Structure formats: structure tokens, C-alpha cells
Structure 1
Amino acid sequence: MLEVDGLTCRFGTKAAVDNASFSIEPGRFVGVIGRSGAGKSTLLRMINRLETPTSGRILFEGVDVTALQGRDLRRWRARSAMIFQQFNLVGRLDVLTNVLMGRLAGVPLWRSLIQHWPQNDKAVAISALEQFDMMPMAAQRADQLSGGQQQRVAIARAIVQQPDIILADEPIASLDPRNTRIVMDALLRINKHFGITVICNLHSLDLARTYCDRLIGMSAGRIVFDGAPAALTDSIARELYDLEAGEVMDDAPDFVPGELTPAFGNVAA
């Protein structure tokens, strides 16, 4: 179980996250929602320890994540894989190598520097690409892919880390409706098929209600809602988003999760 206890992150006098507390059971698909600047990205980055908390604790299976250093911290970052809005791929490298970067925590530095990857790691990376119908592009430079393709490569890279948790920070913010559907269904498939906990920052409330089994709403760094999507009424959403409410409640495409292109198939299959 992931436990966040009184987590706070301050930049100068401003609290980006202010005394956040919650726990998440394994295998949940949690959406973190709120208007721009609410603290969603900082919260995820603290869980991964890309940002250092000012106060509070993060516990996972009883281990104090906020106290980890060195090799233990690197291992935690592998177990809590990040997926970023801007993909964070190395454009000049081919797709397969970018996915193999997810295995860095488990291989000696010299192997990664000369790109001499163990055969088992290559097999894991190829399997991940096949799951997302990206294997035909394995030898292609990452910067030659579309945005949706790059995000699928980033998800494959996260999967080969063999994580316990995937932290997706606005993973569909720069994608068109079709690729939004593909990426969100990919995350849902990972959650349901592998039982991996997914914590996903989303600007669209309609998408959050469609995909997530629990929503955590943030406003000005504080958690102001925590519950099932059905419990988040339009009235509460308008309070949460203020002037952005009309935008976030209307910008999601009309589809059912799992109804995908043949590349992915139905999640329930």
C-alpha cells in the first residue's frame, strides 16, 4: 500500500502541495484532478522523489520512501515509473533503445554506456513494444514518431521497469482525441491486466470519470475531494475547477474505454 502522510512541498513562501494525506491500495486506477497549478504534478514528482518534500512522509509497504538515498532511491524510482507529458525520450536513439532505458536500474553502468544490453532485457523490451503494436518501429529514431507513438514508447519503457506503481503526469495533454483514447486505454490495460497501480494526473474531468475508479481532487495544493467518480457531482466539480469547469467537463471524446483500434483489442479480453 502507498501511504502519503502530511506531505507538503514549498517553493519559497508558496505551498505547491499543502499537507496532503491519503492511502492507495494496490491495483487501483486513481485520477488526480484539479485546475492548472493545483499541485498535481508536484504531488506525483514527490512520490517518485523527483521533488523533495518540505515535510511529511511517503510510505510504501512500510518503507519510508522520503528517507531513501543512493541505490535504494534509484530502485524506488524504478518501482514507481514516471510517464511524462512531453514523453522524455532520447530523440536520436531508436525506439528499442529508448525502451531499454527502463532497465537501467538493473544493469551495470558500463553496459548502458556501450549499449550492450543483456538478452533477457532485450526480450522484455521487445515484448513490451509488441503489446503496444510498436515493434515494427523498433529500429526507427524516436524523434521521427508521432506524439501518440512516442507516448506508447514511453509507456513501454515504464512497463519494462517492472514497476509497482505508474505515475502518469498529464500523459495525454498534447495528444489528439484518437491518440488520447489509445494512451488511456493502454494505461487501463496495464492496470487491469498486470494489476499495476496507476496514478494519473488528468485535466479532463470526463476522462477521469471514464477511466478511474477513484478521484483525488486538488485545489491550491490541498486535497479537497477523495472518493469514487460517481460521488463527484457537477456541483462539486464546478467548485473544484471554478472558471475552468465548462472546459474540463466538455473536452473528452465520446467513447467507451476498451473500444480500440485492433492494435490493442478490448481490455476485458
Structure 2
Amino acid sequence: MLVVEGLTCRFGTKAAIDNVTFSVTPGSFVGVIGRSGAGKSTLLRSINRLNPVSDGRILYKDIDVTTLRGRELRQWRARSAMIFQQFNLVGRLDVLSNVLMGRLAEVSSWRSLAQLWPAEDIAVALSALEQFDIAALAAQRADQLSGGQQQRVAIARALVQNPEIILADEPIASLDPRNTKIVMDALLRINKHFGITVICNLHSLDLARTYCDRLIGMATGRLVFDDVPAALTAQIARELYDLEADEVMGTVPPPVSGTAIPALGEVAAA
């Protein structure tokens, strides 16, 4: 179980995250919602230790994540894979090389620098690409792909880390509706098929209600809502989003049990 206790993250005198406490059971799909500047990205980056923690603790199983350094910190970042809004791919490298970057915690520095990846790692990376229907793009430069394809490469890179948690920071913010669905379906499939915990920052309540089994609402760095999607009323949404409420409130109803989950092989190439 992931436990966040009194987490505070300050930049100067400003607390981007202010005394946040919650826990996440394994295999959950948690959506973090709130208006721009609410602290959603800082929360995920703090869990991954990309942002410094000012106060509080992050616990995972018997590990105090906030105390990790060196190799142990690198191993934690492999176990809690990040997916970013802007993909964070190396555009001049081919797709396969970008996916193999997810194996950096497991191979020596000289091998990665020389691009001498073990055959087993190459096979794992190709398998991940195959699951997202983009194995045919393995030799193509990453900067020649569409936005939806690049984000699927980023998800494949996260998957080859063999993570126990995926932290997705607004993964569909720059995508059109069709690619938004492709990427969210891929994250849902990873969650349900592999049992990997997903914590995903989302601006759209429509998507949050459709894909997540639990929602955490953030406002000015504080946790102000923590419940199932069905408990998120229009009034609570307006308190969370204020002037942005009309923009983010969708019409898709909360997910119902038994909803079909698309197979990875059904994801069409963008």
C-alpha cells in the first residue's frame, strides 16, 4: 500500500502541497482532479521524488520513500514509473531506444551509453510496443510520430520498468479526443490486466468519472475530496473548480460494473 502522510512541498514561502494525507490500495485506478495550479503535478512528482519533500512521509510497503538516496532512489523511480504530459521522449532516437530507457535502472551505465542493450531487454521492449500496436514503428524517430503515438511510446517505456505504480501527469492534456480515448484505454488496460496501480492527474471530470474507481480532489495544495466518482456532486465540483467548473464538467455517467475493457490489440494506430 502507498501511504502519504502529512505531505508538504514548499517552493520558497509557497506551499504547493500542504499537509496532504491519503493511502492507495494496490490495483486501484485513482484520479487526481482539481483546477490548474491546485498541486496535482507537484503531488505526483513528489511521490516519485522528482520534487523535494519539505515535510511529511511517503511510505510504500516497509519503505520510507522520503529517505531514499542513490541506487535505492533509482529503484523506487523504476517501481513508480512517471508518464508526463509532454511525453519526455528523446526525439532524435528511435522508438525502441526510447522504450529501452525504461530499463536504465537495471543495466550498467556503459551499456546504456553505448546502446548495447541485453537481448532480453530488447525483447521486453518490443513486446511492450506490440501490446500498444506500435511495434512497426520501432525503428522510426520519436519526433516523427503523432502525439498519440508518442504517448503510447511513453506508456510502453513506463511498462518495461516493471512498475508497481504508474504516475500519469495529465497524460492526455495535449491530445485530441480520439487519441485521448486510446491513451486512457491503454492505462485502464494496464491497471486491470496487469494489476498495476495507476494514479492519474486529470483536468476533465468526464474522463475521471469514466475511468477511475476513486477520485482525490485538490484545491490550493490541499486535499479537499477523497471518494468514489459517484460521490462527486455538481456542487463539490464547482467548489473544486470554481470558474473552470463549466469547462470540466462532462456528461458521461460514472462507470458501471461489468463495463467492457478493450484489449490492447484492439487499440488502433493513430
Trace 1:229-268 onto structure 2 (pairs within 5 A). Answer: 229-250=229-250, 258=261, 263-264=266-267
Distance 2:218 2:138 in 1: 39
SS at match of 1:105: helix
| Residue matched to 1:27 | 27
Distance 2:262 2:70 in 1: 43
SS at match of 2:266: coil
Distance 2:89 2:4 in 1: 29
Distance 2:87 2:124 in 1: 20
Trace 1:34-183 onto structure 2 (pairs within 5 A). Answer: 34-183=34-183
- Displacement after TM superposition at 1:258 (Å): 3.9
| Residue matched to 1:213 | 213
- Displacement after TM superposition at 1:117 (Å): 0.4
Could you tell me whether the CA contact under 8 Å between 1:182 and 1:260 is conserved in 2?
no
- Displacement after TM superposition at 1:235 (Å): 1.0
Structure 1 pair 93–257 and aligned structure 2 pair: CA distance change class (3 A): farther
Distance 1:117 1:244 in 2: 47
Letter in 2 for 1:144: Q
Could you tell me whether the CA contact under 8 Å between 1:34 and 1:217 is conserved in 2?
yes
Distance 1:120 1:260 in 2: 25
Distance 2:265 2:58 in 1: 40
Give the superposed CA RMSD.
Answer: 1.8
| Residue matched to 1:195 | 195
- Displacement after TM superposition at 1:251 (Å): 8.8
Letter in 2 for 1:212: C
Distance 1:149 1:53 in 2: 33
Structure 1 pair 204–81 and aligned structure 2 pair: CA distance change class (3 A): same
Distance 2:176 2:237 in 1: 24
Trace 1:5-24 onto structure 2 (pairs within 5 A). Answer: 5-24=5-24
SS at match of 1:4: strand
Distance 1:62 1:251 in 2: 41
- Displacement after TM superposition at 1:13 (Å): 1.3
Equivalenced residues, count: 264
Distance 2:24 2:250 in 1: 28
Alignment deviations for residues 173-226 of structure 1 (CA, whole Å, 9 cap, x no partner):
000000000000000000000000000000001100000000000000000000
- Displacement after TM superposition at 1:12 (Å): 1.2
SS at match of 1:175: coil
Distance 1:94 1:251 in 2: 39
TM-score w.r.t. the length of structure 2 is: 0.94
Alignment deviations for residues 142-161 of structure 1 (CA, whole Å, 9 cap, x no partner):
00000000000000000000
Structure 1 residue ranges (4+ consecutive) displaced by more than 3 angstroms after TM superposition: 255-263
Could you tell me whether the CA contact under 8 Å between 2:186 and 2:264 is conserved in 1?
no
Could you tell me whether the CA contact under 8 Å between 2:215 and 2:227 is conserved in 1?
yes
Structure 1 pair 197–262 and aligned structure 2 pair: CA distance change class (3 A): closer
Distance 1:259 1:5 in 2: 35
Letter in 2 for 1:18: D
Could you tell me whether the CA contact under 8 Å between 1:211 and 1:257 is conserved in 2?
no
Structure 1 pair 152–56 and aligned structure 2 pair: CA distance change class (3 A): same
Distance 2:260 2:149 in 1: 19
SS at match of 1:78: helix
User: Which structure 2 residue ranges, 5 or more long, are not aligned?
Assistant: none
Letter in 2 for 1:250: G
Distance 2:265 2:113 in 1: 37
- Displacement after TM superposition at 1:259 (Å): 5.6
User: Which structure 1 residue ranges, 5 or more long, are not aligned?
Assistant: none
- Displacement after TM superposition at 1:264 (Å): 2.8
TM-score w.r.t. the length of structure 1 is: 0.95
